[in-house]
Amino acid sequence: MSGMYIKAVNTVKKYNMLFKGAKVVTGVSGGADSTALLLFLCSLRESYNLEIYAVHVHHGIRGEEADRDMHFVEDLCKKMNVECTVKHHDVIGISKERGISEEEAGRMVRYKDFREELEKRSADFIAVAHNMNDQAETVIMRLCRGSGLTGMAGIRPVRGNIIRPLIDCFRSEIEEYLAFNNQEYINDSTNFKEDYTRNRIRLNVIPYLSSQINRCAMENIAKSAVLLREEDDYLNSLALEKLNEITVKKEKSTISLNAVNLCKIDKVLQRRIIRLGLLTIKKDIKDISLNHVDSVLKIAGKGGHSDLPSGFSADMSCGILKLHLGKVQSHDFSYKLEFDKPVFVAECGLYFLMTKNAQKLDEKINNVYTKVFDCDKISINPEIRNRRNGDKIIINKNGSTKKLKDIFIDKKIPKDERDGIAVIVSGNDIISIWGVRDSAYFLPESRMGNELFIYAWRKNYD
């Protein structure tokens, strides 16, 4: 029994990659890695009662050589009694059309094909043939590109429904496994050309490190990736806890965070919180770089707007940082106020309490903002809402009014902050533009014992 087989079986068990009766889609190029993966999965077919489906992607790049690979895979799958689907693509054309490398275009179409086959077969997993050599190459490549801890953690054994049973195996062990089983495989000529970054690392960097620095360099790099992955997972768990604590509101395409409390958290977790927040509204954030995350954190502290890749944007106003996907449209909100019942207005990130008692609030609540109004002049129970077209407020004892729009302009309040400002009203009469201006009509002329107190404070997570 070969070393690769033992390692792969242990990897499957360690990460619970398979269960009995599972349906597995596996990519087969005809190279050593994917051929070995197919053989390995077929060796588990009886014990796990697996259904295995192969996908071969013809990239339309290497002419007759690519046709040779396709026929090899078709014959191999026929011999292994595995149904094979062949997909054809013009990867060169796709790379030019999208402005990406041929390497990235090839990867994109492969995983698209794998996912389509997964859905077609109602399968459970997509198995791909990444190994320990790939792991080391990936870590080196990401290190050179300035990746953070998540990137340095390398290729994960399991990511969603994608499994990598050979991730702990060296390529040399894979080749020994194939020799042990008298199984031929195809050598892709492009693997020996230095047109791609990964090839240059494979052909030049790793051999130099292994011969001149440490003969176990590749294995040690792969082991480091495992350690970094464990630490990355731990930090992500802490960041997720904090994200849940500071989340004010979660909608389909928007997540609102308490910016004040976000800024109190250590910078190491702040960056992760932003990325995790974006992930809650879209699964793919690969185009979001460190610079983009830092731009979001900058406006979290100072306010403003930031446009991000992949349709994301971020806005901060009234202490609330909103991460959006797609075009942002403001929406109306309204909350009824009842005596002695706190109301949390998510759009403003504030708690409000209406009472007739000049009471002291819970000592744990800090930075309480208090307003006092004449209760006798309030005929309809107050509510809290955002501004509306035509809103006016009484600005003096003579009953003169002024449009809210003009007040916002006078106060130099940015347009993107205005919809998040709380307006307290009684019917159609504005009592207060909270934190901006109060109606002269509702202010008490003297303390006669019938005052209405409204308290406001930010949500406190400390």
User: How many CB atoms are closer than 10 A to CB 26?
Assistant: 25
Between 187-196, 385-394, 407-416, the lowest mean confidence (pLDDT) is in 187-196
Residue 100, both tokens: 């990406």
Contact 382, 354 (CB under 8 A): yes
pLDDT band at 428 (very low <50, low <70, confident <90, very high): confident
Instruction: Find residue 87's DSSP bridge partners.
Output: 57
Amino acid at the residue 69: D
Amino acid at the residue 344: F
Placement of tokens 């308290």 in the chain = 455
Amino acid at the residue 73: V
Per-residue three-class SS string for 253-288: CEEEEEHHHHCCCCHHHHHHHHHHHHHCCCCCCCCC
Instruction: Find residue 307's DSSP bridge partners.
Output: 313
Indicate the angle between helix axes 64-79 and 32-43, nearest 10 degrees.
10
pLDDT of residue 71: 94
CA dihedral 421, 427, 432, 433 (to 10 degrees): 20
pLDDT of residue 191: 67
Instruction: Find residue 51's DSSP bridge partners.
Output: 23
User: How many CB atoms are closer than 10 A to CB 29?
Assistant: 22
Q: What is the mean pLDDT of the chain?
A: 88
Distance CA 259, CA 343 (A): 20
> What are the chain's domains?
3-224 (3.40.50.620), 251-325 (3.30.465.60), 334-458 (no CATH)
309-332 tens-digit pLDDT: 888 888 887 788 999 987 555 567
pLDDT of residue 439: 92
Instruction: Find residue 355's DSSP bridge partners.
Output: 453
Nearest of 155, 309, 285, 303 to residue 272 by alpha carbon: 285
Contact 177, 2 (CB under 8 A): yes
Pairing status of strand 51-58 against strand 23-27: parallel
87-143 tens-digit pLDDT: 998 888 888 877 778 888 888 899 999 999 999 999 999 999 999 999 999 999 988
Question: Cα–Cα–Cα angle for 387, 391, 392, nearest 5°?
Answer: 130
Pairing status of strand 162-163 against strand 125-127: parallel
pLDDT of residue 448: 66
Residue 35, pLDDT > 70, answer yes
pLDDT of residue 366: 63
**Number of residues written out for the chain:** 462
Average pLDDT (246-258) is: 90
Distance CA 193, CA 114 (A): 26
Burial of residue 252 (CB within 10 Å: 0-12, 13-18, 19+) is: exposed
What percent of the chain has pLDDT above 90?
52
58-90 tens-digit pLDDT: 887 777 888 899 999 999 999 999 999 999 988
Question: Could you say which DSSP state residue 326 is in?
Answer: S
Tell me if the pTM is above 0.85.
Answer: no
Indicate the angle between helix axes 32-43 and 3-14, nearest 10 degrees.
70
pLDDT of residue 350: 80
Question: Cα–Cα–Cα angle for 428, 434, 436, nearest 5°?
Answer: 105
